[in-house]
Amino acid sequence: ETGVTQTPRHLVMGMTNKKSLKCEQHLGHNAMYWYKQSAKKPLELMFVYSLEERVENNSVPSRFSPECPNSSHLFLHLHTLQPEDSALYLCASSQDNVGNQPQHFGDGTRLSIL
Amino acid sequence: SQELEQSPQSLIVQEGKNLTINCTSSKTLYGLYWYKQKYGEGLIFLMMLQKGGEEKSHEKITAKLDEKKQQSSLHITASQPSHAGIYLCGADRRVGNQFYFGTGTSLTVIP
């Protein structure tokens, strides 16, 4: 139990569907992150939120749309995804976005695009 | 080019054996983190190293950061099946708490 909960754990969707991934942290942290993990590739940072403000968007396609309504919740809205978007999507949080702090990860959502 | 190189990519050891995983960077590391990931699950934070020459231990796992802060090693003593998984090193970018990760080392421990 890391204090970061992601739902759903598995998601299968067609390319024309719209779905959302949810992340909730119970650690009182101020920064939250979305990562993509594909086979044989390093973890890729997608988005960073600090105090509910987006501070980083690493050239992610617009078919991925993050939302951070408060410091405990983070969403990733998905629409018209491509087969290459199939991956494990991990959420993480840290106390702040200032460095020298470990990030705590959820168990991820395994996404499969048909 | 890969910013963090991990070696080996995979490792299979007999239970009870010692092993070492390496993480190398071409740049000075400002913070080095070790994580363990069980297949299909999230990352579990193991240790953080910040100072050159620093060494930390937790149970049978020891991590070191070299004096130049460009290489770290993770050593497991008397490995057990519970140590199996993927070990990832991650490092801080200089600005903000934004990590970049190595590709991971897959460890299998044979009972």
Instruction: Determine contact, residues B42/B88, Cβ cutoff 8 Å.
Output: no
Q: What is the largest CA-CA distance in chain A?
A: 41
Band (pLDDT 50/70/90 cuts) for residue B99 is: confident
Question: Helix or strand or coil: residue A95?
Answer: coil
Would you state the pLDDT for residue B22?
A: 97
Report yes or no: A105 at the B interface, CB cutoff 8 Å: yes
For B54-69, what is each residue's pLDDT tens digit?
999 989 999 999 988 8
Q: Residue B90 and residue A43: Cβ atoms within 8 Å?
A: yes
Q: What is the largest CA-CA distance in chain B?
A: 44
For B3-39, what is each residue's pLDDT tens digit?
899 999 999 999 999 999 999 998 888 889 999 999 8
Phi and psi at residue A111, to the nearest 5°: -105, 130
Percent pLDDT > 70 in chain A is 99
Would you state the pLDDT for residue B28?
A: 82
For A59-80, what is each residue's pLDDT tens digit?
899 999 999 999 999 999 999 9
Instruction: Determine contact, residues A78/A18, Cβ cutoff 8 Å.
Output: yes
Tell me the residue type at A89: Y
Instruction: Determine contact, residues A64/A14, Cβ cutoff 8 Å.
Output: no
User: Which of A34, A23, A32 minimizes the C-alpha distance to A85?
Assistant: A34
Instruction: Determine contact, residues A69/A54, Cβ cutoff 8 Å.
Output: no
Percent pLDDT > 90 in chain A is 73
* Angstroms from A17 CA to nearest CA on chain B: 24
Mean per-residue pLDDT of chain B:
91
Distance between CA atoms of residues A67 and B39, nearest Å: 28
* Angstroms from B85 CA to nearest CA on chain A: 14
Joined together, the tokens standing for residue B3 give: 């910013």
Q: Residue B100 and residue A102: Cβ atoms within 8 Å?
A: no
Which residue in B has a C-alpha nearest to residue A106's C-alpha?
B42
Contacts across the A-B interface (CB distance below 8 Å): 75
